[in-house]
Structure 1
Amino acid sequence: MALSPSGEGARPSAGEGREHLQADCADCFGLCCTALPFARSADFAADKPAGQPCSNLRQDFRCGIHARLRDKGYPGCTVFDCFGAGQKVSQVTFGGTDWRQAPETARSMFEVFPVMRQLHELLWYVSEALGLAAARPVHKELRRALARIDGLTRGSAESIAELDMNALRGEVNTLLLRAGELARAQVPGRKKNHRGADLIGAKLSGADLRGASLRGALLIAADLSGADLRDADLIGADLRDTDLSGADLTGALFLTQAQLNAARGDAATKLPSALGHPAHWQARG
């Protein structure tokens, strides 16, 4: 599932302190294309078990059909974002020795990668929370969490693989929730609460969702065209096939490039400065 830095799914600069949380496939050993499983579906044209290289992975660890992934039936690959975990595992945890050169490292490397990806995702969220001026009351705790998580990413392969990620995510989520609440409180008026809501296929075109909580909401195939999503909390929201055409997501909280890559939109969709319009949106005109 490797995405080149210049391909679909690549982000522009995410701001100070988050450059290392952007995927750099040139320094990765094709880990997303090898370590992770996928099943034949609308997202993937074939089955692949965990630990087996994708048939499209080249010897140089690049994707042989990168420019044609959607046409070839692999849109799921264009959505995936490792948040820079691939190069961390490849170049730091395993010191630049790839699993083809040292087959004995393969199993461990493939076990570490999905855990590292979760750690890097948390680093992304915590870094974003630290950029919210309104969240200043929790900045001290957030900085401690950032330092702790960063330290965990630099541990041994064994220590990373043994981490209790559910417990860690629970601890960090408490801080992220507080940061999001403080930021949304700056938006005037009553804010809608759709946390965890089932909004699959919902007709929300032009809806006023400014400052709303959409944490973990299921928005699959929902119509949010022209909706006001400024400063809305979108952490964990499922935006697969969501129509964001003409929507305003300026300042949206905890929105990721992967979520946008899974959605539909157009040139009129307004995004936070750290994120970019996916290539397939441009193709839609």
Structure 2
Amino acid sequence: MPDDLDPAAGITGDARGRLRADCGRCFALCCVAPAFSASVDFAIDKPAGTACPNLNAGFRCAVHEQLRPRGFRGCAVYDCFGAGQQVCQVTYGGRDWRAAPDSARQMFDVFAVMRTLHELLWYLSEALSRPAAAPLHAELHDARARTMLLTCADADTLLAVDVPALRQAVHLLLLQASDLVRAELPGGAGNRRPRRRPRGADLLGANLAGADLRGAALQGTLLIGADLRGADLRGADLLGADLRDTDLHGANLHGALFVVQAQLDAARGDATTALPPALTRPVHWTRTADPTRPDPRTHPVAGSGPGPGTVPIPSSSPSAARPRRSASSPRSPRSPRSPRSPRRR
């Protein structure tokens, strides 16, 4: 298996290509397989296994260019990590669910498993690209190789995969890799007092503008609507963090750990937001810095902390009830999930 990793840029080349959606080689599995309910992310209710009414005969979305204004933000955010084309072209050899309706249900179930495998491959490949995680590289290589073999298995083998156990095993490796990487940062995790907030903390709507979050452990953190303008997130671990409507204008995410495209697509940012090299700037972000916004670097950081990477305690917390995690928000690999929303070109 080729090791096409670049330590400076994360996963690259063939590895990155295999884990990016190629809608032209997929039969719109994400527009049919998952269920979703009418919400801020979806304009309608759709049962699992039922084609979205916007799906046309050519397996394309008829409203793809207007997904956000039409209320389908979840579709615009969704990423299958290339699982769609793998299922359609490799597992089922080019057969589509319309031509082979007897296989449709199985195909949709396989897609859910494949998406998990591809997501885990993305994280494992990134961990392998980090020189500081070298003590774990042998275990990471082994986990990636075994996961890659599963992606080439037949449908019955895929459906027999113990997804929760696999997620948990990979998650433990990723946590160890994260600790190694963040410990090498200036003022990193190994050189400061323990975190004031545990992994998975609720920072819903928190004022963290200008915060020094270098090397922060933000895995699984709810950052919905949080103000991170101008925040320094270099080396922070954002595995599974919920960034829906998070304000990233002017924030620095260069070198942040385990960020995926769906997280950026769910957030708000601009041309001054520094991104991890393997990811792209979302098309809905503003192209220039917003002159109406005050410079976040002049804002006092909410609360106070002992140093870089310590998540400040917000000065106030929103009174709104904690929202349900939507289908469009990424998760940490601690528990299984099924794909929830489509994005078709």
For this structure pair, what is the TM-score category when the shorter chain's length is used for normalisation? over 0.9
Return 5+ residue gaps in structure 2 as ranges. 1-8, 291-345
Give the letter for the 1:212 counterpart.
A
Return 5+ residue gaps in structure 1 as ranges. 1-11
Residue 273 of structure 1 aligns with which residue? 277
Give how far 1:15 is off: 1.0
Q: Does 1:260 align with 2:239?
A: no
Residue 12 of structure 2 aligns with which residue? 15
Of Structure 1 and Structure 2, the greater helix share is in 1
Residue 131 of structure 2 aligns with which residue? 133
Normalising by structure 2, report the TM-score.
0.77
Q: Which has the larger radius of gyration?
A: 2
Give the letter for the 1:272 counterpart.
P
Name the CA shift for 1:46/1:236 in 2 (closer, same or farther; >3 Å).
Answer: same
Q: When the two structures are aligned, how many residues end up with a matched partner? A: 274
2 CA distance for matches of 1:14 and 1:39? 34
Select which of 200, 203, 206 maps to 2:204: 200
Are the counterparts in 1 of residues 11 and 126 from structure 2 also a CA contact under 8 Å?
no
Are the counterparts in 2 of residues 14 and 275 from structure 1 also a CA contact under 8 Å?
no
Select which of 237, 244, 247 maps to 1:243: 247
Identical residues among aligned pairs (%): 59
- CA RMSD in angstroms, aligned pairs only: 1.5
Residue 31 of structure 1 aligns with which residue? 29
Residue 186 of structure 2 aligns with which residue? 188
Give the letter for the 2:183 counterpart.
A
Normalising by structure 1, report the TM-score.
0.93
1 CA distance for matches of 2:210 and 2:10? 30
Select which of 89, 92, 108 maps to 1:91: 89
Are the counterparts in 2 of residues 142 and 175 from structure 1 also a CA contact under 8 Å?
yes
Summarize the alignment of residues 109-124 of structure 1 with structure 2, pairs less than 5 Å apart: 109-124=107-122
Are the counterparts in 2 of residues 13 and 19 from structure 1 also a CA contact under 8 Å?
no
Give how far 1:106 is off: 0.3
Give the letter for the 2:20 counterpart.
Q
Summarize the alignment of residues 67-106 of structure 1 with structure 2, pairs less than 5 Å apart: 67-106=65-104
Residue 231 of structure 2 aligns with which residue? 227
2 CA distance for matches of 1:74 and 1:178? 37
Give how far 1:221 is off: 0.6
1 CA distance for matches of 2:69 and 2:221? 29
Give how far 1:162 is off: 2.2
Q: Cα deviation per residue 1:22-64 (whole Å; 9 max; x = unaligned)?
A: 0000000000000011101111111000000000111111111
